[in-house]
Amino acid sequence: MKRSLPTSIVGSLPKPAWLAPPEKLWSPWKLEGEQLLEGKQDALRISLQEQQLAGVDIISDGEQTRQHFVTTFIEHLSGVDFENRKVVRIRNRYDASVPVVVGEVARQKAVFVEDARFLRKQTTQPIKWALPGPMTMVDTLYDAHYKSREKLAWEFAKVLNEEARELQDAGVDIIQFDEPAFNVFFDEVNDWGMAALEKAIEGLQCETAVHICYGYGIQANNDWKKTLGAEWRQYEEIFPKIRNSNIDIISLECHNSNVPLDLIELVRGKKVMVGAIDVASNEIETPEEVADTLRKTLAFVDIENLYPSTNCGMAPLSRTVARGKLSALSAGAEIIRKELAV
């Protein structure tokens, strides 16, 4: 029987120092060629083991085989020049050096499918794979070809759908699309962002998730959060649209955030990955703190739809802190299972 309150992480875990220098984003690989391929697979095995030791129910790849959750996918597409990069402002918040769209985008070959097959072979537990969402992709590059965010998002959605179908066939149980941009560009979400995401999940039989957060715990995001006031009501703008979509699971930032949890009522009926671990702090939550966040959200999510998780990826944290947080997540979920005898 499937366990109640199945735990999972949003996506990334820190990489081993021999693979890429830890505690930074876009960390460069330390290996190359065959050694890099082998190193990535070894890191994937370690990330699996760490999740299993912590008692995590739905396994992720820890994003050990990608440098970044958006740009790595984009760099595998044709029509994109990733050597002559441009600096753009991401989510109206911070500058980053990103690839440039120079022609029609297309996926010549699978991006993560081999990695997913590899992970599938290592475990019988359900596995979840994250892909960037179309809107967040559009927001993480410079477009010198389509000159329309909507048009480009639509093209990316088609490409993502091809990849998602192959991931599904490789045995992935849940495909998650990361859309932090949904928390910033509400009008666009309602105009075309959600439609593009629906295009990306078209025809999939496996479960689908959308992850919408307030970003990694990096300085630019932390500074932005300070400007959002006492109540973060961004989710309110987009939840009605998501509730009416075909997405099965919504992954949200809940712990240590100013999101009023009653907003989750707006997506009642959907499964909710409740972020009960703060990824912007090195302090490891106590199991009781995790349980407290889960308990509060239970007022707005039916228990069979509650999936305890992290607020966002843990890539920028130290490995020790990330391990501690994984264990706290499991222990916190266990408190609620015992309390409610579920």
Nearer to Zn ion, 54 or 213 (CB): 213
Least distance (Å) between residue 279 CB and Zn ion: 8
The distance from CA 150 to its chain's CA centroid, rounded to whole angstroms, is 22
146 versus 177: smaller Cβ distance to Zn ion = 177
* Cβ 11 to Zn ion shortest distance, Å: 7
* Strand blocks (E) in the chain: 78-90, 94-106, 128-132, 142-143, 174-178, 207-212, 249-253, 271-275, 306-309
Task: Please identify, using beta-carbon distances, which residue of 61 and 166 lies nearer to Zn ion.
Answer: 61
Which member of 19, 213, 249, 290 binds Zn ion (CB under 5 A)? 213
Both tokens of 167, joined, read: 């991931």
Q: Least distance from C-beta 73 to Zn ion, angstroms?
A: 15
Per the listing, tokens 């890191």 go with: 43
- Report the residue number, 213 or 326, with the smaller CB distance to Zn ion: 213
Look-up: residue for tokens 């330390």? 30
Of 98 and 312, the one with the shorter C-beta distance to Zn ion is: 312
* Shortest separation between residue 16's beta carbon and Zn ion, angstroms: 22
For residue 216, the minimal CB distance to Zn ion (Å) is 7
Per-residue binding letters, 294-333, with Zn ion (x by CB under 5 A): ------------------x---------------------
What contacts 36, CB < 8 A, 6 or more positions away? 29
Shortest Cβ 180–Zn ion spacing (Å)? 5
Q: Are 10 and 313 in contact (CB under 8 A)?
A: yes
Work out whether 80 is an interface residue with Zn ion (CB under 5 A): no
Q: Which long-range contacts (CB under 8 A, 24 or more apart) does 19-22 make?
A: 19/43, 19/64, 20/67, 22/318, 22/319
Burial class of residue 119, CB neighbours in 10 A (0-12, 13-18, 19+)? buried
Q: Which is nearer to Zn ion, 312 or 326 (CB)?
A: 312
User: Residues in contact with Zn ion, total (CB under 5 A)?
Assistant: 2
Footprint on this chain of Zn ion (rule: CB under 5 A): 213, 312
